[in-house]
């Protein structure tokens, strides 16, 4: 069983990319022909929403698979369609893995005791049905909320260790109000630095051959100064970096997230990629019907931006 970060590093090097495509399908922005087809077949139902999402996102995956190591479906955009949406989420994960991509389930789970164990089984491990173990959602890693401390994180760490998976703990998030809690001073340093120290500690037993732990962190691209502090206390942790593109951060701000070896960070872009056909830059070239080609070109351009700053 290959270690999660060893697998991630291998994919990064083979694709020459540390970009991650966020699979966050907003219903209103899905191409009209896809929505029309789903509505014709299923009516104005949750099943129609899930069907449109499945068709659109599998098409996006096909368009970007050759250019990125990983995708990150945000489960909320699937849960809003109820049970059909959860089935769509599972299909998306399966399709991405079949196309040779690492799947990071953006589920942001965190609880204590048996509840955390159940979340970990659902999203990282296996569920036991009278001696038969089954996989509910086939993700390679998940995002985890550590607000409850190690009680809420331990089951995910244990599942990651057992099944060769990874976790990314929320440390410094990209939203503006993150400062209300994450920037509070505790013992002379911000809470997010304290949490980064815990991430490093929790991940020490799970370091792979490539020198990186299966326990990583989420740090927003909009806070490069925070990234510098976080990177200094957790050199062996991968950082999942949201906030690139639509939230305003560019490649120039990303250098502090990486280590000197050019590794240690993966950069997520969601709307800028999957809805590239809505942008004048790509709409005039490809049109709305060319949404797959627009997404592929947007990823190629993102890789070019990262490489122009010496980032793989």
**Which residue out of 97, 108, 194, 278 is catalytically annotated?**
108
Contact (Cβ atoms closer than 8 angstroms) between residue 119 and residue 109: yes
User: What is the Cα gyration radius of the chain?
Assistant: 19
Q: Is 15 a catalytic residue?
A: no
Q: How far apart are alpha carbons 234 and 189 in whole angstroms?
A: 15
Q: How far apart are alpha carbons 312 and 306 in whole angstroms?
A: 6
Q: How far apart are alpha carbons 173 and 178 in whole angstroms?
A: 6
Provide the residue-wise pLDDT of the chain in tens; the chain has 312 residues: 899 999 999 999 999 999 999 999 999 999 999 999 999 999 999 999 999 999 999 999 999 999 999 999 999 999 999 999 999 999 999 999 999 999 999 999 999 989 999 999 999 999 999 999 999 999 999 999 999 999 999 999 999 999 999 999 999 998 889 989 998 999 999 999 999 999 999 999 999 999 999 999 999 998 889 999 999 999 999 999 998 875 556 777 898 999 999 999 999 999 999 999 999 999 889 888 899 999 999 999 999 999 988 777
Instruction: Give me the domains of the chain, ranges plus CATH numbers.
Output: 4-308 (3.20.20.70)
Q: How far apart are alpha carbons 88 and 93 in whole angstroms?
A: 9
Contact (Cβ atoms closer than 8 angstroms) between residue 90 and residue 103: no
């Amino acid at each position: 069983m290959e270690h999660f970060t060893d697998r991630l590093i291998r994919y990064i090097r083979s694709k020459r990319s540390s970009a991650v495509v966020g699979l966050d399908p907003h219903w209103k922005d899905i191409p009209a022909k896809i929505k029309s087809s789903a509505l014709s077949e299923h009516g104005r139902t949750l099943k129609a929403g899930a069907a449109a999402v499945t068709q659109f996102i599998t098409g996006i995956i096909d368009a970007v698979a050759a250019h990125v190591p990983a995708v990150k479906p945000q489960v909320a955009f699937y849960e809003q369609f109820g049970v059909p949406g959860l089935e769509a989420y599972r299909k998306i994960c399966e399709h991405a893995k079949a196309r040779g991509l690492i799947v990071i389930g953006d589920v942001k789970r965190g609880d204590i005791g048996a509840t955390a164990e159940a979340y970990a089984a659902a999203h990282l491990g296996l569920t036991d049905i009278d001696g038969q173990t089954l996989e509910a959602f086939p993700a390679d890693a998940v995002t985890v909320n550590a607000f409850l401390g190690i009680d809420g994180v331990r089951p995910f760490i244990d599942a990651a260790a057992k099944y060769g998976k990874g976790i990314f703990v929320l440390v410094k998030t990209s939203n503006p109000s993150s400062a209300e809690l994450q920037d509070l001073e505790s013992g002379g340093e911000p809470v997010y630095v304290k949490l980064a120290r815990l991430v490093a500690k929790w991940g020490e037993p799970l370091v792979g051959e490539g020198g990186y732990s299966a326990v990583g962190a989420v740090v927003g691209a909009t806070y490069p100064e925070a990234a510098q502090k976080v990177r200094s206390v957790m050199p062996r942790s991968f950082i999942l970096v949201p906030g690139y593109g639509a939230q305003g951060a560019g490649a120039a701000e990303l250098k502090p997230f990486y280590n000197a070896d050019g590794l240690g960070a993966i950069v997520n872009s969601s709307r800028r990629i999957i809805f590239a056909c809505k942008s004048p830059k790509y709409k005039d070239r490809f049109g709305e019907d060319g949404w797959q080609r627009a997404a592929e070109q947007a990823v190629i351009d993102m890789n070019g931006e990262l490489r122009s700053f010496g980032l793989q």
